[in-house]
A and B are shown apart, each in its own frame.
Chain A
Amino acid sequence: EVHLLESGGGLVQPGGSLRLSCAASEFTFSNYAMNWVRQAPGKGLEWVSAITGSAGSTYYADSVKGRFTISRDNSKNTLYLQMNSLRVEDTAVYFCARASTVVAPRNLDYWGQGTLVTVSS
């Protein structure tokens, strides 16, 4: 059974930084594009970023472009999201999700349980 486990969330001040991790298991990690999706408290889902299986291409929502960086280490089966210049509006549960393809962010077939990021002074 595919398993995704996020970590690294917590409380951070506006302007601060945080790095999220997502440990993957029970599938060939490098064969799949991976995504980060967030959900602000009481709100809907918002796609944040994606990375292809080889890490050759990355994609970002306009709301985080230039502040967030997605990366992956296929030798460690781990996905990352480096978040800089955090804003109050970045407060959300962050999910990692597997895409069913290697090259594009679509068909998110498996999701982790999420990690909460709170940006507040």
Chain B
Amino acid sequence: QSALTQPASVSGSPGQSITISCAGTRNDVGAYNYVSWYQQHPGKAPKLMIYEVSNRPSGVPDRFSGSKSDNTASLTISGLQPEDEADYYCSSYTRRSTLVFGGGTRVTVL
């Protein structure tokens, strides 16, 4: 099972918007609306930020949003904040009933 494809890094200034892409195939991202996004700060456990493509768990700021088109999902952070600096991972449920993660994207707030 190949990992989903994410850019290695994305950066932006405070207040700006950034978008992270997550490219998969018709066997994972394109097959179901079960794409999730996780935020991980150094030395910490991952935190669920978006589930089922575009849903935010309770407590996640509404500046985080998700979308999907065909085999590619995206996470957008609007109004970037210093505390948003972290690694971000997408994941997708697959046709083999497994889970696959992206390689991760380091977000830097300039």
Contacts and interface: CB of A to CB of B under 8 A. Distances in A.
Interface stretch (B16-24, B68-76, B77-85, B98-106): B98-106
A35 interface: yes
Given A44-B101, A106-B93, 8 more contacts: A44-B3, A44-B104, A50-B99, A61-B1, A95-B45, A107-B34, A107-B36, A109-B57
A35 B46 contact: no
Nearest to A50: B99
Contact of A111 (B47, B52, B100): B47
Interface in B37-92: 38, 40, 45-48, 51-52, 57, 87, 89, 91
Contact of B99 (A47, A100, A114): A47
Chain A contact residues: helix, strand, loop or mixed = strand
B98 A59 contact: yes
Interface of A: 35, 37, 44-47, 50, 59-62, 95, 97, 100, 104-114
Contact of B101 (A45, A50, A59, A114): A45
Contacts of B99: 35, 47, 50, 105-106, 108
Contacts, number: 68
Chain B contact residues: helix, strand, loop or mixed = strand
A107 B100 contact: no
B51 A107 contact: yes
A39 B101 CA distance: 11
Contacts of B93: 104-106
A62 B100 CA distance: 11
B97 A105 contact: yes
30 contacts: A35-B99, A37-B101, A44-B3, A44-B89, A44-B101, A44-B102, A44-B104, A45-B38, A45-B89, A47-B101, A50-B99, A59-B97, A59-B98, A60-B98, A62-B1, A95-B46, A97-B46, A105-B93, A105-B97, A105-B99, A106-B36, A106-B91, A107-B52, A108-B38, A108-B91, A108-B99, A109-B51, A110-B48, A111-B45, A111-B46
